[in-house]
Amino acid sequence: MQSPMTRMTDAAAFLAVDNVSHTYAGPAGDVQALANVTFRVVRESFVCLVGPSGCGKSTLLRALAGLLPPSQGQVSLDTQPVTRPQRRIGIIFQKANLMPWRTVYHNLQLPLQISGVPARERQQRTEAMLTLTGLDGFAQAYPAELSGGMAQRVALGRALIHDPEVLLMDEPFGALDALTREQMSAELLRIWSRHRKTVFMVTHSISEAVLLADRVLVMSPRPGRIVFDLEIPLARPRNLELLHQPAFVSLTEKLRHNIRTS
Amino acid sequence: MSNQHKRLGEIVIIWIRTVWLRLLLAPVLGISFLVVWAAVVEADVYTNLVLPSPGEVAERWYELYADGLLWRHTEVTLYEVFFGLGYGVLVAFVTGYFIAKSRIVASLLTPYLVALQAVPIVAVAPLLIIWFGPETQSKVIICALLVFFPMLVNTVIGMRSIPPDLRDLLRSLQANPLETFWYLELPAALPVVIGGLKVSATLSVIGAVVGEFVSPNEGLGYLIATGRGNYDTPQVIATVLTLTALALLLYGLATLLEYALLSWQRAGNNGL
Ligand SMILES: Nc1ncnc2c1ncn2[C@@H]1O[C@H](COP(=O)(O)OP(=O)(O)OP(=O)(O)O)[C@@H](O)[C@H]1O
Ligand SMILES: [Mg+2]
């Protein structure tokens, strides 16, 4: 099979997923969530994964993060097998997942505290992150006082603050309204252009995937397999203007068609 | 009724809601109680031995205070409560933590802990006094046993209520068990744990008095027992009131602790 997956040589691969399958054992019987998933992600590229609900996207993401040892196959990062969570990988969850007892400032700081960064440097980096994520006026606010979009900005800042090489995102904007969602996509583009990371992002939105990604992977219904792999050759820097351009629309159409037939 | 009267009525209602409810209602209830009490004594419904007047009780209370007796026994009870509550809460927290963390520990200990809770503490108290002596030590233990259970249950509930996504976050940051405890488990479980502490604080006074009843040699429980023996009803009532004040004080301290530690809970709910 001549697929884009095989085009890439292993040397260029930063994140490698080899033959990963996963089956959950439950009281009502086993559920196979992933079946022989294989793909490669180039360093500092942005890859989006789309697929129907319940097809195994979150399972795959947890396997990439080292939070879930897959029942078969292997994930590796920079040629090292990922068998447990690592600080080189930052994660953003569907809900902002902030600590309600910490202010925005201290939520941002958490990864630095755990990594034992000295107080002085912690303060500098937290302040820089507040500015980067547009949260300057909200340092002392508690999560209960934030809108959904602002909470997700904090989550983004928290995932970036200890400067991980890989950023994994599980439908980070899934809980937001359409307008806030677009704004957050634009924010993410801006931040990513300044802090290049290898990004792997799960999303339900095809246009969001095309807007953000260098490459979009499509997963089949459960058990999840990668059934389509599309390069997005749109020039960067990108912005929301792109949403109306013919090249963009034809790419989203192509993806939509492939999801329907998969 | 005129419009002005209506307006006035509204103002009074608002005033009652804001100021009265918060500051005056509880004292008013207390004072009414004292008035009814004094009236009943005045009407000679009961003999003085059964129900002395509030004045007599206050007088006896002052006597006990003036000759140092009240403070000496309060000190003993306070000591028992302090250590009983301290040990009970500490052991319950540690036990609850490991029960919530480990299924093995949970299935190992749960039957025995439930059995322990099912036994009436008053029934085991004499046994504890035989084992640990009639002095303060056995009373500290009785007190600790009484406060143990609510604290344990709340610790387990608090620990189990921690969102799995936050656990995953700490795992992904490679937090060690101590960091996980300090940054996640302790603050996340704290609201429920402090709820347990408030219940335990009031129970601790009961625990100490139970011990002092079974082996009366010192403490406020002893003062009640001797008061009853001497048909000194004012002393009994004065001591009971002192105990109540002690329980309220402990509850107040726990509430203060809650207020200080959980200030974040007041954020974002518009002062309700
Ligand atoms: N801990 C678990 N135990 C048992 N089964 C699970 C568990 N987690 C997920 N599953 C099952 O595995 C399948 C894939 O779940 P997963 O959460 O990976 O899907 P998803 O693609 O992320 O779905 P969504 O788009 O709705 O988030 C589902 O059928 C789900 O019911
Ligand atoms: Mg999911």
**Segment A149-154 long-range contacts (CB within 8 Å, at least 24 positions apart):** A149/A176, A149/A180, A149/A183, A149/A184, A151/A96, A151/A98, A152/A92, A152/A96, A152/A176, A152/A184, A153/A184, A153/A187, A154/A96, A154/A98, A154/A104, A154/A107, A154/A108
The residues, any chain, with a CB within 8 Å of residue A44's CB and separated by 6 or more, are A14, A196, A197, A198
What's phi and psi for B128, nearest 5 deg? -65, -35
Tokens linked to B181: 């405890």
In this predicted model, what pLDDT tens digit does every residue of B238-270 receive, in sequence order?
999 999 999 999 999 999 999 889 988 887 664
Give A20→chain B minimum CA distance, Å: 20
What pLDDT shows up at residue A28? 86
ipTM confidence score: 0.89
- For chain A, give the number of residues: 262
Name which CATH class applies to B52-271. Answer: mainly alpha
**The one-letter amino acid at A12:** A
**B91-139 pLDDT, tens digit each:** 999 999 999 999 999 999 999 998 888 888 888 899 999 999 888 899 9
How many angstroms separate the alpha carbon of residue A59 from the centre of ligand 1? 6
Query: Could you tell me which residues come within 8 angstroms of residue B269 by beta carbon, excluding any fewer than 6 positions away?
Result: A144
Residue among B166, B179, B264 minimizing CB distance to A114: B179
Which two structure tokens, joined as six digits, stand for A201? 């992002």
Contacts of A85 in chain B (CB under 8 A): 171-174
Residue of B154, B188, B72, B241 whose CA lies nearest to A100: B188
Check CB contact under 8 Å for A97 and B187: no
In chain B, which residues have their Cβ closer than 8 Å to the Cβ of A65?
168, 172
The per-residue pLDDT string of chain A (262 residues; one tens digit each, 9 = 90 and over) reads 434 444 455 556 899 999 999 999 988 889 999 999 999 999 999 999 999 999 999 999 999 999 999 999 999 999 899 999 999 999 999 889 999 999 999 999 999 999 999 999 999 999 999 999 999 999 999 999 999 999 999 999 999 999 999 999 999 998 888 888 998 899 899 989 888 899 999 998 999 999 999 999 999 998 999 999 999 999 988 988 899 999 999 999 999 998 888 7
- Residue B271's pLDDT band, with cuts at 50, 70 and 90, is very low
Cα–Cα distance measured from residue A65 to residue B58, given in angstroms and rounded to the nearest whole number: 70
Question: Is A226 close to ligand 1, i.e. is its CB under 6 Å away?
Answer: no
| Cα-based distances in Å from B252 to B222, B231, B247 | 25, 33, 8
Distance from CA of B106 to the nearest CA of A (A): 21
Candidate of A59, A71, A219, A226 to mutate for ligand 1, largest count of ligand atoms within 8 Å of Cβ: A59
If you measure from the C-alpha of residue A58 to the centroid of ligand 2, how many angstroms do you get, rounded to a whole number? Answer: 4
The two tokens of residue B260 are: 């200080």
CA distance B129 to B91: 21
Closest Cα to atom 29 of ligand 1: A54
**What average pLDDT does range B203-207 have in this prediction?**
93
Of A172, A226, A235, nearest in space to A40 by CA: A226
In chain B, the percentage of residues whose pLDDT exceeds 70 is 94
Span A199-215, pLDDT tens digits: 999 998 999 999 999 99
| Chain B residues in contact with A110 (beta carbon < 8 A) | 173, 183
Nearest CB to B173 within list A62, A114, A145? A114
C-beta separation of A15 from A64 below 8 A: yes
Residues A76, B111: Cα–Cα separation, whole Å: 45
- Identify the residue whose C-alpha is closest to ligand 1 atom 28: A54
Rounded to an integer, the average pLDDT of B158-177 is 94
Q: Which residues contact B211 (CB under 8 A, 6 or more apart)?
A: B80, B125, B128, B129, B138, B139, B142, B143, B219, B221
pLDDT confidence bin for B7, thresholds 50/70/90? confident
Helix or strand holding residue A40 (H, E):
strand A29-42
Dig out the tokens for A158 from the structure: 């928290």
